[in-house]
Amino acid sequence: MSTDLPQPNRSLDEAPATATATATATATLTRVVRFLHVVRVRKGLLVTSLFVAVLLAGLYYATAPRLYESNSRLYVLQMGSNVLDETGGSQGGVRENMANYQGVLTSDLVLEEVLQKLPAKHRIDLKDVPRSKWIAALREHLGVSAPRRTNLIDVRYRSRDPQTAAAIVNHVVDSYLKLMQEIHKSSASEDVEFLTQKRETLDAETNKINSELITLKRQMQIISGPDNQNINPAAERLQELNKHLIDAMNRTREARATVQAIREAAARGEDIHQFALQQIEVVGKEVFMRQMGLNSQDSWIEGRTRQQLINDQVAYRNDSSELGPNHPRMQMLAARIVARQKWLTERPITITEQMTTLAKTRLTPTLINMAAQKLRYAELREKALQDDFDQESRVVSSFEAIMGRIRMLNFDLARKRELAIALATRISRTDLGKERGGLRTKIVSQPKVAKAPVTPRLLLVAMIALVGGLGSGLGMIYVLDYFDDRFRSPEELQLQAGLPVLAIVGELPLDANSDNNTDNKGLESVRTFAEPNGPETEVFRTLRTTLAFSNEPTNRLVVTSTEPGDGKTTVLANLAVAFAQSGKRTLVIDADMRRPGLTAMVDLRGPQGLSNILRSDLPISAATDGNVFATSLETLDIIPSGTRPTNPAELLYGDQFSELLAWAETAYDQVIIDAPPTLAVTDAAIIGRQVDGTLLVVRPDKNRRRMVIRAAEALTAVGATLIGAVINHVTAETGSDYYGYGYGYQYEGTETDVETTEPLDQAA
């Protein structure tokens, strides 16, 4: 079971890491998809950038001079080595010096000889160049490289004339081969002569060391052992005597300690049987037992008696059922059983008394004598070994200086032999190089006249133009998108904020807004009520239908926005009228007690309203009396904000507001609450936790992307259910993606086509 315990722990540890990786991948994919959408929106900029890049590339390709390239390849081999040697051998030295060979190819000496041999017709690249700079100009067009881990050198030259490129490469290779051959031939002879002199001197020194070693070994009588090791018999004997002497000294100390311990134990009257067991050796055990008056057959007698006792007990049990306890045989068996049991019971006591008596009278003196004899033997053996050791030490000490000299000579001799082998190898290679040219360089690829220019290349120029155009276009789009922080389409809003777009509301006429029209008050200022046939009002009926057929409950809704001025109150009022026109009993609560826009729109300013209900101590059914106002639409009631309180958030957080929602749910089919902007105060988050869902009103021409995302995260962080977003105030200038997404659809019909009070969505 213990082996299975780490498995769950490991899975628990891996779960957060997996979740983090998944979230990171999802966020990355989201950013990529969003950027692709931005690219689609700004595709004109991308096309323009690509067009400019292609145009510049075409101009470059048309005006750039054509250059032709000729190549040659050289193979460099170190002569005197096995070319089939897989270990590399001396060829490794060639690779290490490859940079030197490349430098020689571009050296002034080689290039000056090339210029002297170069015909006038092949000096096309040197026109208008001073004579003093010809070598630099030639080197600028000349390229030399060596493929990694090879003995190959590539030589190439670029020119405006293909014949000139091939001719110059050919002259460079010929000059290089001639120069390298002269260098190696002249240096090889000097090296062989110098190395031969060094070897002769080394041989003389080696012979002198060998003579001195032979003389010293004879003096010390040194013999040669396995692997030509020098063995000194005296030193070997001294080493062996030292081992035996150390062992003898240890035995003497142990024997002396044993004698002292036995005597002290006897003087204190302690048990000395443990010393007896330590002193008795296997060979003298029987003799010791006899001296102590003990018989080695006592254990056998005791075992035999136990076996006879068992036999009598078995016979007694077997015969008891037939003979009875008074039978002479049964009485005899019983008597023997009792006698043998008594003997076995008293036997340990008898032996203990006997051993105690023997320990006092005979065991202690015997042990002391045995330990003393062992001590005397150990002392005599130690003394004899010490005498032999001292004698051999005097002999070896006389040879110590000679031994040190022999070790030093052996080390010097081994070093000189290694040096001699290295010199012999070097001489043979150098001598072979002298005869065969040292380094052998072979042309494995002859220079050829190029048929097509190497630059400019049409495919390469086209690829650079394509990559550059796309890269610069995408870069400019990214920069513009970074500074233009807006949602450019409903899909982008849904992707970034994670909110489904439920409706897109166009720009309503000014007479539908009470803030700009003082003539219309109450529901007359609501567009859906004032002009039910208007094309702008169809979007609110669509929003009503979407909410009615939602899989989640939507009977209690709160409408909020990111910041003030987004038109949340206008959207809420028109949506409430749409619900009321469908036959649902609808209650609108203005919970924006800080800046009550709905209360002002329907002209219900006064002390009565939500704040009065929340501060009341009466039951909720009684507190709502006088604070709920009917409208000209029979199925629509409104609770205005009331007087502005000092603590609106605390009032909304209290139990009275929850009870108000519960009462409204029993009395109305639909409850819609107007809440302050999410990022301004916490009122929307407090209300969002207590209702079925939240609608977020977004103005794409005004709201920034980061602000909308932050508002959505603030609501979901407290547990509020975000049903979706309503995009408000969309015009043709806002963006074609919004304007063509849904708004702009004109619904034209007769008066009979207008929605009546018949509850079309009642089933929902």
Q: Quick check: 232 pLDDT over 60?
A: yes
pLDDT digits (tens, 9 = 90+) for 733-746: 555 555 444 444 34
Amino acid at 542: T
**What is the DSSP-derived secondary structure letter of residue 455?**
B
- Residue-averaged pLDDT of the chain: 79
pTM (global) more than 0.95? no
Q: What SS3 class is residue 670?
A: strand
- Which of 210-224, 364-378, 637-651, 698-712 is predicted most confidently? 637-651
Q: Are strands 670-674 and 223-224 parallel, antiparallel or unpaired?
A: unpaired
Which of the two residues, 248 and 271, has the higher pLDDT score? 248
Question: HEC string of 586-611?
Answer: EEEEECCCCCCHHHHHCCCCCCCCHH
So where are the chain's domains?
2-64+461-483, 66-225+399-455, 234-396, 496-747
Q: Is the dihedral of CA 292, 295, 298, 300 positive or negative?
A: positive
CB 183 within 8 A of CB 437: no
Q: Measure the CA–CA gap between 109 and 115, rounded to whole angstroms.
A: 10
Once rounded to an integer, what is the mean pLDDT over residues 505-528? Answer: 67
Which one-letter amino acid corresponds to residue 358?
L
How do residues 398-417 score in pLDDT, each as one tens digit? 666 677 777 787 888 888 78
More confidently predicted of 95 and 718? 718
Q: Is 552 a residue whose pLDDT tops 80?
A: yes
Whether the per-residue pLDDT at 530 is higher than 90: the answer is no
The CA distances from residue 316 to 313, 319, 332, 763, in Å, are 5, 5, 10, 106
Structure tokens at 197: 């002199």
Chain centre to alpha carbon of residue 308: 81
Q: What is the pLDDT of residues 78-128, one digit of tens each?
A: 665 443 344 444 555 677 788 888 888 888 888 888 888 888 888 888 888
* C-beta neighbour count of 64 within 10 angstroms: 12
Average of per-residue pLDDT across 665-669: 94
For residues 138 and 112, the answer to whether their CB atoms sit within 8 Å is no
Compute φ and ψ for 251, nearest 5 degrees.
Answer: -65, -35
pLDDT at 193 over 80: no
Residue of 54 and 238 predicted with greater confidence: 54
> By percentage, how much of the chain surpasses pLDDT 70?
79
Phi, then psi, of 388 in degrees rounded to 5 = -65, -40
- Give me the mean pLDDT over the 273-289 stretch: 53
pLDDT surpasses 60 at 281 = no
Q: State what percent of residues in the chain have pLDDT above 90.
A: 23
Judge whether 609 and 590 are in contact, CB under 8 Å.
yes
pLDDT of residue 445: 86
Query: What pLDDT score was predicted for residue 84?
Result: 39
Is-contact 559 571, C-beta < 8 A?
A: yes
Tell me how far the alpha carbon of residue 222 is from its chain's centroid: 65
- Of 482 and 145, which is predicted with more confidence? 145
Rounded CA separation 46/67 (Å): 33
Q: Which run of H or of E encompasses 116?
A: helix 108-117
128 vs 656: which has the higher pLDDT: 656
- Greatest Cα-to-Cα distance within the chain, rounded to the nearest angstrom: 152
Which residues, 6+ apart, have CB-to-CB distance to 709 below 8 Å?
496, 497
Q: Are 603 and 610 in contact (CB under 8 A)?
A: no
Q: Which residue, 559, 637, 298, is CA-closest to 626?
A: 637
**Which runs of E-coded beta strand occur in 49-180?**
68-78, 142-145, 152-159
What are the pLDDT digits (tens) for 322-358?
887 888 888 888 888 888 888 888 878 877 776 666 6
**CA-CA distance, 286 to 355, in Å (whole number)?**
16
Q: What is the pLDDT of residue 514?
A: 40
* Average of per-residue pLDDT across 467-480: 90
pLDDT exceeds 80 at position 465 = yes
Superfamily holding 496-747: P-loop containing nucleotide triphosphate hydrolases (3.40.50.300)
The mean-pLDDT minimum among 254-263, 286-295, 337-346, 351-360 falls in 286-295
Element (H, E) at 441: strand 439-445
Q: Which is it for strands 636-639 and 586-590: parallel, antiparallel or unpaired?
A: parallel
Lowest mean pLDDT, pick from 119-123, 253-257, 427-431, 465-469: 427-431
Find where tokens 């609608």 sit: 695
Confidence label for 385 from pLDDT (cuts 50, 70 and 90): confident
Going by pLDDT thresholds of 50, 70 and 90, the confidence category of residue 280 is: low
Average pLDDT over residues 316-321: 82
Amino acid 76: pLDDT: 86
Cβ-Cβ contacts under 8 Å for 487 (sequence gap 6 or more)? 493, 496, 698, 700, 703, 705, 708
pLDDT at 480: 81
The one-letter amino acid at 704: R
Residue 554 has pLDDT above 80, yes or no: yes
Q: Is pLDDT larger for residue 268 or for residue 754?
A: 268
705, containing H or E segment? helix 705-717
Task: Assess whether pLDDT exceeds 50 at residue 725.
Answer: yes
pLDDT in tens, 584-603: 999 999 999 999 999 999 98
Tell which wins on pLDDT, 500 or 588.
Answer: 588
Name the least confident of 243-257, 633-647, 677-691.
Answer: 243-257
What pLDDT score does 87 carry? Answer: 46
Q: What are phi and psi of 714, to 5 degrees?
A: -65, -35
315 residue type, one letter = A
* Cβ count near 358 (within 10 Å): 16
Q: Are 727 and 503 in contact (CB under 8 A)?
A: yes
The pairing of beta strand 629-630 with beta strand 722-730: unpaired
- Does residue 272 contact residue 364 with C-beta atoms inside 8 Å? yes
pLDDT over 50 at 284, yes or no: no
The pLDDT of 375-383, averaged and rounded, is: 85
